[in-house]
């Protein structure tokens, strides 16, 4: 599929992320229709600052947008929500942990999609701990 040493290309990573969204239950997929998936090598300084980070290797994914519970019917003209995947930090984590790349991308995409539905990081960590 991709060269182990180099990791997936941005296009391959984009495809894996889209497969994650396609595999979600219909009621979730319907509410994620407008989300734009974007793969870039690293987060910008502004993106890092938005989550209190300074080191570009620390951020593997980011949700940017208004969570569904915070939206109003009176809002219009807003940009679509985005889920960003940061390729180089994902590849570094994949190499360091040995977790399969598709599993890693699934985890990050679902985590970021959780923000779309209004879950905080603490909520998602609690849900993951309960699942273990």
Q: Find tokens 């360091």 and name the residue.
A: 96
Confidence band for 120, pLDDT divided at 50, 70 and 90: confident
Q: What is the pLDDT of residues 36-51, one digit of tens each?
A: 999 999 999 999 999 9
Q: How far apart are CA 79 and CA 12, in angstroms?
A: 25
Contacting residues for 117 by C-beta, under 8 A, at least 6 apart: 28, 31, 67, 68, 69
Kind and range of the H or E element at 64? Answer: strand 61-64
Q: How far apart are CA 46 and CA 26, in angstroms?
A: 33
* pTM score of the predicted model: 0.83
For residues 21 and 114, the answer to whether their CB atoms sit within 8 Å is: no
Q: Report, at the CATH architecture level, how domain 10-131 is classified.
A: 2-Layer Sandwich (3.30)
Q: What angle do CA 12, 59, 102 make, to 5 degrees?
A: 30
Q: What is the pLDDT of residues 79-115, one digit of tens each?
A: 788 999 999 999 999 999 999 999 999 999 988 988 8
């Amino acid at each position: 599929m991709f060269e182990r040493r180099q990791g997936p290309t941005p296009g391959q990573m984009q495809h894996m992320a889209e497969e994650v969204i396609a595999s979600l239950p219909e009621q979730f997929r319907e509410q994620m229709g407008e989300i734009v998936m974007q793969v870039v090598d690293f987060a910008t300084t502004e993106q890092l600052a938005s989550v209190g980070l300074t080191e570009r290797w620390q951020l593997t994914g980011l949700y940017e947008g208004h969570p569904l519970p915070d939206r109003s019917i009176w809002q219009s003209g807003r940009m679509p929500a985005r889920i960003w995947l940061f390729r180089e930090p994902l590849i570094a984590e994949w190499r360091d942990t040995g977790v399969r790349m598709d599993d890693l991308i699934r985890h990050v995409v679902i985590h970021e999609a959780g923000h779309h539905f209004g879950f905080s990081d603490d909520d998602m960590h609690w849900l993951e701990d309960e699942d273990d």
